[in-house]
A and B are shown apart, each in its own frame.
Chain A
Amino acid sequence: MIEYWRSTIGKKQVVAITGAILVGYLILHMLGNLNSAFGPGADEARVDWYAHWLRDFGEPLLPHGFVVWVVRVVLLGAIITHITGIVQLVKRNREARPANFPARRIGRSVESIAMLGTGTLLIAFIVFHILQFTTLSIHVTPVEPEEVYANLYYAFQEWYFLAIYLAALILIGMHLRHGVWSMFQTLGLDNPNRNAKLRHGSTALVVVLVAGFAAVPVLFFTDVLDPPKTTAVITALSGVPV
């Protein structure tokens, strides 16, 4: 196993597998987000119900919030391994070529060249995203615990939050357009007969993913979705800054 990690191919395959875990999470995250599109609801917003359901999952067999924490630990592990592998590979790759003679671009895609840049920016975005909607530490718009729908609604009334999230989605799209197809190639799951399908399928997955993620902030910003009904947040908005 150590030998496998030491070899360039083995390390890249670990990077591919951890990448696949992260993409798998993104798909679930995107589907979960779409619960917001059901609006504030009569009694409770569907996305709030979904958030509670995630935390209550498995009760009473599992403790409260267990599944959420398992997912968080797995994701953190995957991201750390992904980054460690890439940093080591990039170092190796740079040592293999004289620094003052970069390879001329013949046909490589913008996405593939930008992988390191988009990846780095995405780490910054993930930190920001967690601070905003998980730890609720960014108080530009009113944020209240347990009020997912309201938090989203007020955040995406602001054009700059919409812009940040759409920009992040462009980064994700670029990173995954090269990354998802690359994963099949790196793991050797490709096959000359289905390579075209894998490439197009990867692009289609990325388009669906980005469109699904973009839908929620855009729907909030364009007022297609109604304001939340929770009184607590409304007083917070009209009153003193939280």
Chain B
Amino acid sequence: MKFTLEIWRQFDGSDENDKGRFETFQVEDIDPDASLLEVLDQLNERLSREKQRNIAFDSDCREGICGACSLVIDGTPHGPQQVTSCQTYMRDFIDGQTITIEPYRANTFPVIRDLAVDRGALDRVIQAGGYISTTTGPQPDPNAMPVSPEVQEQAMDAAICIGCGACVAACPNGAAMLFTGAKVTHLNVLPQGQPERQDRVIGMVEQMDAEGFGGCTNYGECSRVCPQEISIDVIGMLNREYRKAKLTKKSKPDKAMTTQ
């Protein structure tokens, strides 16, 4: 197979004068079962031989579970198949077609170089409450903390989020509601998450706003590109948890939990 690749090149995203542009590359003799990232690898090898600058892009596990890869392929985050970018194979495209590859487009995800963006904003949302503060100790009796299968399923359906950020890139508002909703749902339905339930949702929503993410207008595009197929039900959960926390919370965040 052969393709024309339109790839976004931007040497330094933090440089205001470097606006970035598309560069066109021709690739030939491509195995239909090669992944798009492998095609980029081949292209980079060629660029190295030609003493040209390689194309920067993120990847790690290349088996669709780490959430590092972050390409916008033909305008859709992660490409046409609702899988991660690394799981996008060349057989998904038509021989000879032009494929446009861009970085995630969101002001909260500044471009570092070419296709690599800084998704630190999502990490800071996690730091604002996406954890539980348990002290270590002997393993508790499993029966002491019953979790019904339904609750467990709900938590796991949300916990499956790999934090790739495709939801933000797909959202016309650049909102991180699906991501934050998944994290809040995951921890707030489980018994281990109860002590910090309200602080968690308030902290994460405040951080989300402080980072400059937009708000949800219920387009549902996030869920349509999510490689883990997380439903926008988690956004409903986030809205509900936030409303309840704001209406019922009386005191300032209780620091006693974290300083034990």
Contact = CB atoms under 8 A, between A and B. Distances in A.
A105 B170 CA distance: 9
Interface string B220-232: 1100110000011
A89 B209 CA distance: 11
A107 interface: yes
Interface of A is mostly: helix
B124 to A, nearest CB: 15
Contacts of B225: 106
Interface string B191-222: 00000000000000110110011111111110
Contacts of B242: 7, 9-10, 188
Interface in B137-181: 169-175
A89 B169 CA distance: 18
A188 B205 CA distance: 15
A178 interface: yes
B221 A10 contact: no
A90 to B, nearest CB: 9
A1 to B, nearest CB: 9
B159 to A, nearest CB: 16
Nearest to A182: B218
Interface stretch (A19-27, A94-102, A123-131): A94-102
Interface in A161-203: 178, 181-182, 184-192, 195
Interface string A113-140: 1010000000000000000000000000
Given A4-B246, A103-B170, A185-B218, A9 B107 contact: no
A109 to B, nearest CB: 8
B243 A188 contact: yes
Contacts of A104: 75-76
Contacts of A96: 106-108, 173-175, 212-214
Given A103-B105, A188-B239, A7 B209 contact: yes
Q: How large is the interface on B (under 10, 10 to 19, 20 to 34, 35 or more residues)?
A: 35 or more
Interface residues of A, number: 43
B18 interface: no
B235 interface: yes
Interface string A80-91: 000000000100
A182 B243 CA distance: 15
Contacts of A181: 218
A184 B236 CA distance: 8
A93 B175 contact: yes
B108 A107 contact: no
B15 to A, nearest CB: 16
Contact of A103 (B172, B213, B216, B235): B172
Ordered nearest first, which 7 A-B pairs have the shortest CB separation?
A: A188-B240, A96-B174, A8-B215, A96-B214, A93-B173, A188-B239, A104-B75
11 contacts: A93-B172, A96-B214, A97-B106, A101-B102, A103-B105, A103-B169, A107-B221, A185-B235, A185-B236, A185-B239, A190-B236
